[in-house]
Amino acid sequence: MLSTMIALMEAAREKGYALGAFNVYNLEGVRAVVAAAQEERSPAILQIHPSAFRHGGIPLVALCLAAAREACVPMAVHLDHSTSSDDIRAALAAGLASVMADGSHLSYADNVAFTCEMVALTHEHGGTVEAELGRLAGQEDGLAVEEYEAKLTDPDQATDFVARTGTDALAVCIGNIHGRYSSEPRLDFDRLCAIRKAVSVPIVLHGASGLPERMVSRAVELGVCKLNVNTELREAYLGALKDHLADSRDLIGLMRGATEAMQVVVCAKLQLFGSTGKA
């Protein structure tokens, strides 16, 4: 069943679990997320990266929306990490009701201005906005940020940012990164506590791929109610393709194998995030 992002987030926050938001690029990814969510009786989010949106366009959005409507568990569809007002307008016109307006690469003043504009636009369409304050290091689908550019979210600035922009959710940087961690992750949980106390909107943590389970559980305990997963899904997909190509040229079998590999990853994340049985 297609649900609104804000309804799923509020339920997660109230009941003390986190939503899994999984980046999907094609039918196999969509089927993997839906099948895992149904198997785990969990709500979940089908998330479309801007590069995937530009590649798949309206048909990809339609696929995700149709799959969410037909699922027997609550699901939302979300445009991830968009830095383009044109892309956000196109996504809203295509039927999406949840977008991430990512102005984290801008100066603080420009981030506020960009987010305000996208919040006003999205709210006019009856949708919700996730914004980001702070800057993640790492690389994901062409979004690369050098370590020296990474900036942690300031709790006091978060209070001002949420008040001025009216964003519905806030993605924060507490030491998390995009992509794989090259060394032991170090998350600033004291900072997360301070941010949680400073703002009233749901908190989002990107870069859940590769985070130790104890850190994920602690983040959820401290109020994170949405966690993004991309890298581990892509690795499962590519690994399955390599394995099946070595043995067979059966295209349907290859696609099923890729779906099953991703489904295993999604099931494990839903269990870790505490959303199993919450549908």
Distance CA(179)–CA(193), nearest Å, equals 24
Q: Is residue 279 part of a domain?
A: no
Residues 6+ apart with CB under 8 A from 167: 101, 115, 119, 129, 130, 131, 161, 201
Cβ atoms 205, 226 nearer than 8 A: yes
Token readout for 265 is 């990853």
DSSP output for 88-156: HHHHHHTT--EEEE--TTS-HHHHHHHHHHHHHHHHHTT-EEEEEESB-EEEETTEEE-GGG-BPPPHH
Query: Choosing from 80, 102, 141, 154, which is the catalytic residue?
Result: 80
pLDDT in tens, 26-80: 999 999 999 999 999 999 999 999 999 999 999 999 999 999 999 999 999 999 9
Per-residue model confidence (pLDDT) at position 150: 56
Q: Is residue 242 part of a domain?
A: yes
Q: Using the predicted structure, report yes or no on whether residue 181 has a pLDDT greater than 60.
A: no
Of residues 186 and 240, more confidence is placed in 240
Q: Is residue 266 part of a domain?
A: yes
Residue 192 within a domain = yes
227 lies in a domain?
yes
**Number of domains composing the chain:** 1
CB neighbourhood size of 124 (10 A): 9
Flag whether 278 is in a domain: no
* Residue-level pLDDT at 218: 97
**Which residue's structure tokens are 């989002």?**
204
pTM of the model: 0.92
Give the CATH number of the domain where residue 230 resides.
3.20.20.70
pLDDT tens readout for residues 196-216: 999 999 999 998 777 899 999
* β partners of residue 78: 47
Q: Whole domain around residue 257: which residue ranges?
A: 5-273
Which pair of tokens denotes residue 17? 């679990």
Q: Look up 80 and say whether it is catalytic.
A: yes
